[in-house]
């Protein structure tokens, strides 16, 4: 990773050896673009489909949340401090696939004569060298006050009581618009704290995503599609008995279970749009997984697709992911846009890759620090699901719990 920082385009995906199923690689590093697709929301999925079908190669990049406007008749008018492109993918010249004790290396023909010198340079990298975490004190501010947050939650509850929606994911941004950080060591520190199964470091030009996401958005492998929405959070304890009690309480929590089940119904409907008839299946419902910072309630839903199905169409018909929107999805998206004050952009979008065969794997961009070095703007956003049983104060506390690791890294 330190060697890779010389390149304009870098994607590092890391499972952190988390004991989960469905993982193809322990980690992947892709660097140095041969071709690039970057675009706004206009016909974004069509452009991505053409790019994927034309290259038929490994592609790495992201989908921003606001591609919702390319899927439905929606708009994004909230303030955007980061100014990332809505969609960005690149075809790497150099690729490293890590699984167990094996590293598979793939270089495009134009650079394959540089492989030996690259490995020599990697072997000479000083891994003991200490990086400075930041070059300017980061002072995190909230885009909205606690009072404004609580009032917005009450407005969501009014929509729920009227029957406009059943559930919605409401998010708030924390930021510093005079920030200067060293992205890689900040990511390394954040990842050390979280050890999440869908961690990612993404760099292109002056834009960075430092993600320690625990959530898979969607994966395609052959004719099988897997999605694993998270809904339900409980804090961890260093006391073993208290920690086990926290797991048991989360498993029994009817409010958290109802959140999760609503989203499972939503993603089942989304998957059915491209699935072979009768193939959508809930493999796990409301299972609690433990991570370093929190316990999370996760469900696993799968489907089968025809081999001829355009892989990008599977993304388009399931995007944005249900766990970050609400139900019914379009109504929730409209209300979210009205009540949130910041454009989400890459937050609650997805980072991942396509294989040459048209398979893919994408995370959900949560528990992530986003940084535009050119604009000196750093941001992280957190949210929670609002349902009829939500207590505004508790939802605010859940947001602060999810933000803890990111704030700790940035303000230390």
Tell me which of 231, 329, 343, 402 is the catalytic residue. 231
For 53, how many CA atoms within 13 A lie in the half-sphere containing its CB?
12
Q: Which residues contact 382 (CB under 8 A, 6 or more apart)?
A: 171, 172, 174, 366, 399, 400, 402, 403
Instruction: Choose among 164, 217, 172: nearest CA to 327.
Output: 164
| 249/241 Cα distance (integer angstroms) | 12
Number of Cβ within 10 Å of residue 282's Cβ equals 15
| 56/310 Cα distance (integer angstroms) | 12
Active site residue 215: yes
Number of Cβ within 10 Å of residue 112's Cβ equals 13
| Max Cα-Cα span within the chain | 65
- Structure tokens given for 390: 């939500």
Number of Cβ within 10 Å of residue 170's Cβ equals 22
Instruction: Choose among 19, 30, 49, 166: nearest CA to 92.
Output: 30
The residues pairing with 222 across neighbouring beta strands, listed in sequence order, are none
Number of Cβ within 10 Å of residue 17's Cβ equals 12
How many residues belong to the chain?
412
Angle at 245 between CA 241 and CA 247, to 5 degrees: 120
Q: What is the DSSP letter of 260?
A: H
| 348/368 Cα distance (integer angstroms) | 9
Active site residue 273: no
Tell me which of 41, 86, 188, 215 is the catalytic residue. 215
| 163/388 Cα distance (integer angstroms) | 10
| 48/37 Cα distance (integer angstroms) | 8
Number of Cβ within 10 Å of residue 81's Cβ equals 18
Catalytic residues: 215, 231
């Amino acid at each position: 990773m330190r060697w890779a920082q010389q390149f304009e385009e870098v994607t590092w995906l890391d499972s952190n050896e988390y004991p989960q199923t469905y993982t193809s690689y322990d980690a992947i590093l892709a660097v140095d673009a041969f071709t690039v697709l970057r675009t706004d929301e206009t016909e974004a999925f069509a452009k991505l489909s053409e790019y994927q079908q034309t290259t038929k190669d490994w592609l790495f990049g992201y989908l921003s949340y606001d591609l919702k406007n390319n899927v439905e008749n929606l708009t994004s008018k909230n303030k955007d401090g980061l100014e990332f492109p809505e969609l960005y993918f690149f075809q790497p010249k150099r690729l490293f696939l890590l699984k167990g004790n094996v590293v598979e290396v793939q270089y495009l023909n134009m650079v394959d004569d540089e492989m030996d010198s690259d490995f020599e340079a990697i072997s000479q990298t000083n891994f003991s060298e200490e990086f400075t975490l930041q070059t300017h004190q980061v002072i995190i501010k909230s885009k909205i006050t606690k009072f404004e947050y609580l009032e917005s939650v009450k407005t969501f509850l009014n929509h729920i009581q009227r029957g406009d929606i059943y559930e919605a994911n409401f998010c708030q941004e924390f930021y510093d618009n005079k920030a200067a950080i060293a992205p890689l060591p900040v990511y390394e520190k954040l990842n050390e704290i979280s050890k999440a199964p869908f961690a990612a470091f993404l760099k292109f030009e002056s834009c960075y995503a430092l993600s320690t996401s625990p959530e898979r958005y969607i994966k395609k492998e052959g004719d099988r599609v897997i999605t694993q929405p998270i809904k339900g959070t409980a804090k961890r304890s260093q006391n073993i008995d208290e920690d086990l009690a926290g797991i048991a309480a989360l498993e029994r929590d009817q409010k958290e279970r109802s959140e999760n089940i609503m989203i499972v119904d939503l993603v089942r409907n989304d998957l059915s749009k491209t699935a072979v008839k009768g193939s959508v299946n809930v493999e796990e419902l409301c299972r609690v997984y433990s991570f370093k910072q929190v316990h999370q309630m996760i469900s696993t839903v799968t489907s089968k697709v025809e081999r001829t199905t355009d892989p990008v169409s599977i993304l388009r018909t399931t995007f944005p992911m249900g766990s970050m929107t609400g139900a019914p999805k379009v109504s929730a998206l409209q209300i979210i846009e009205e009540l949130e004050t910041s454009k989400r952009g890459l937050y609650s979008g997805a980072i991942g890759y396509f294989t040459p065969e048209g398979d893919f794997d994408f995370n959900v961009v949560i528990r992530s620090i986003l940084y535009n070095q050119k604009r000196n703007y750093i941001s992280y956003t957190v949210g929670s699901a609002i349902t009829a049983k939500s207590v505004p104060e508790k939802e605010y506390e859940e947001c602060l719990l999810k933000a803890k690791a990111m704030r700790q890294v940035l303000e230390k």
